[in-house]
Amino acid sequence: MAGSATPAVARIFEILELFESEQRPLSLREIVEWLGYPMSTTSAILKSMAALGYLRHDRSARTYIPTMRLAHLGTWSAAHDLPSETCMSALRQLCAETGELIYLAHRNDIYMQYLHINVGEKYGSPPQRPGATRFLVHTALGWSLMTFLDRRAVNSIIRRTNAILPPPDNCDPGTVLRAIERCREEGYAVSENTIRLGHGVIAAPLAFAHQHYAVGVAAPVERLRQHGPEYASKLLAMVSDVSTL
């Protein structure tokens, strides 16, 4: 989600995300076709990244591929963002017990950002990768994260989000506030068809080692409704166990 990022910056990171998705050398033409950028602009970005040492240009094959300089950039941040192995083990156990997609997320300003994803046996490929962002106001993971905030901070997030979204897509403040309050009362939140049509998430807030996270169990809506109470119970048990460590 580019949000309010400047076009030049957004294009650089969208190119990098395309490399991450494809995991192979890409030609200028392929990148242009995938992302719809002007040929001249894309060529200038790729040449600049190659000159800085972040991409390697194979002239004979006319392709680009990220270098080790880029691969090593930011590897230290995982240790800062992710909780301890004890918590990660609990996420894997929750994934094994439900067979569904398990998300770990944190708040990044007005966005919810996926930190880690476990894929259960019932699920295929996850619809997003770690690092992807969504507006906090649009998902149960975001509502869970906002339970850690006071009313003033939540209202600020809603205002700033609506300032970015086109008017037809503006969120209703009352709906968001009720979802957050319901999460505080019940311990978890549920969203359906908000990020991906036909899919939903049951999410709960997690406070661990002085950090705030949200854990979610994602599944097709039909399966989520069928197993909702069971999934919610397992989710709350996991959060309770980890929070006391």
CATH number where 55 lies: 1.10.10.10
What whole-number percentage of the chain has pLDDT above 90? 70
Note down the domain range covering 32.
Answer: 7-72
Beta carbons within 8 Å of 165's beta carbon, 6+ residues apart: 135, 171
Task: Single out the residue of 138, 125, 135, 118 nearest to residue 200, CA to CA.
Answer: 138
Say if residue 110 is in the same domain as residue 192: yes
User: From start to end of the chain, where are the E strands?
Assistant: 26-27, 55-58, 63-66, 101-108, 111-118, 133-135, 189-192, 199-208, 211-220
Say if residue 110 is in the same domain as residue 196: yes
Q: Region 140-166: what's the mean pLDDT? A: 96
**Has residue 111 been placed in a domain?**
yes
Q: Region 7-36: what's the mean pLDDT? A: 91
> Are 131 and 114 contacting, i.e. CB atoms less than 8 angstroms apart?
yes
Say if residue 175 is in the same domain as residue 224: yes
Say if residue 83 is in the same domain as residue 130: yes
> Are 120 and 144 contacting, i.e. CB atoms less than 8 angstroms apart?
no
Q: Which of 72, 98, 125 is the last residue of a domain?
A: 72
Write out pLDDT tens, residues 102-138.
999 999 999 999 989 999 998 777 777 787 889 999 9
Angle between helices 85-98 and 221-243 in degrees, nearest 10: 150
Q: How confident is the model at residue 5 (pLDDT cuts 50, 70, 90)?
A: low
State residue 191's pLDDT score: 96
**Has residue 213 been placed in a domain?**
yes
Number of domains in the chain: 2
Q: Which of 19, 45, 72 is the last residue of a domain?
A: 72
Q: How confident is the model at residue 245 (pLDDT cuts 50, 70, 90)?
A: low
Q: Which of 72, 103, 123 is the last residue of a domain?
A: 72
Write out pLDDT tens, residues 188-231.
999 999 878 899 999 999 998 888 999 999 999 999 999 999 99
Q: What's the rounded Cα separation, in Å, for the pair 95 and 98? A: 5
Query: How many Å is the Cα radius of gyration of the chain?
Result: 20
